[in-house]
Chains A and B, each alone.
Chain A
């Protein structure tokens, strides 16, 4: 009567593990965390297998669970940051003097590499630099830059004020700019 496949987490891992991992990586840029989220997703899918009625594809259903897990994780990271002293420190302190002047003047960036191999190397360097950002900055930055989701929707989804988003994005961008410059890109 129905061609709904028998739920089987090992088969899900074989068939959709790669897609789920790629989806998580785009939003969290952390291999360990992305793998943990995939594992939690497959376990949650197994526990809630009765809830899958086959109206959507299995893959779409699992991606939906994963997106919830990612959002929960980011919200938790933001809340923890608010309780820690981190949020009280002006996040642009390492860049500017108290009077608002640059501590080190930014120089002009060269053109972006155009060859395929150079672009690939640059993409890999961006990944490495992303991984060096503090967790909350990285998560919010990736949620915004990697999903193409509108700022207002992201703030709502992550329970974040626009000002907090701006502060985290600004800090993340300055951190990435410096990291890329240190590795020979840009300035």
Chain B
């Protein structure tokens, strides 16, 4: 027997990037009603999508990297 879980996971991910067509939306919805694992997965992917976009992540150049760039600029910009 073939399972729809692989496609359901793909569709759950796809719809975070583009709206699904009607047929795909119906397929996904019908499958999620029946399949707890795919429901869990779809919700987790949705949460992840939100968490990644809203997280505060401040990344700073460390001193060593800054020095390396300064050295390269010295060598090449005269």
Contacts and interface: CB of A to CB of B under 8 A. Distances in A.
Interface in B24-61: 36-38, 40-41, 43-45, 47-53, 55-61
A169 interface: yes
Given A123-B56, A151-B17, A165-B17, A108 B43 contact: yes
Contact of B10 (A25, A92, A106, A144): A92
Interface residues of B, number: 47
A170 B61 contact: no
A84 B76 CA distance: 34
A180 B73 CA distance: 39
A180 B48 contact: yes
Interface string B64-75: 011011101110
A95 B44 CA distance: 15
B5 A10 contact: no
A99 B17 contact: no
B55 A31 contact: no
Given A126-B52, A180-B48, A169 B17 contact: yes
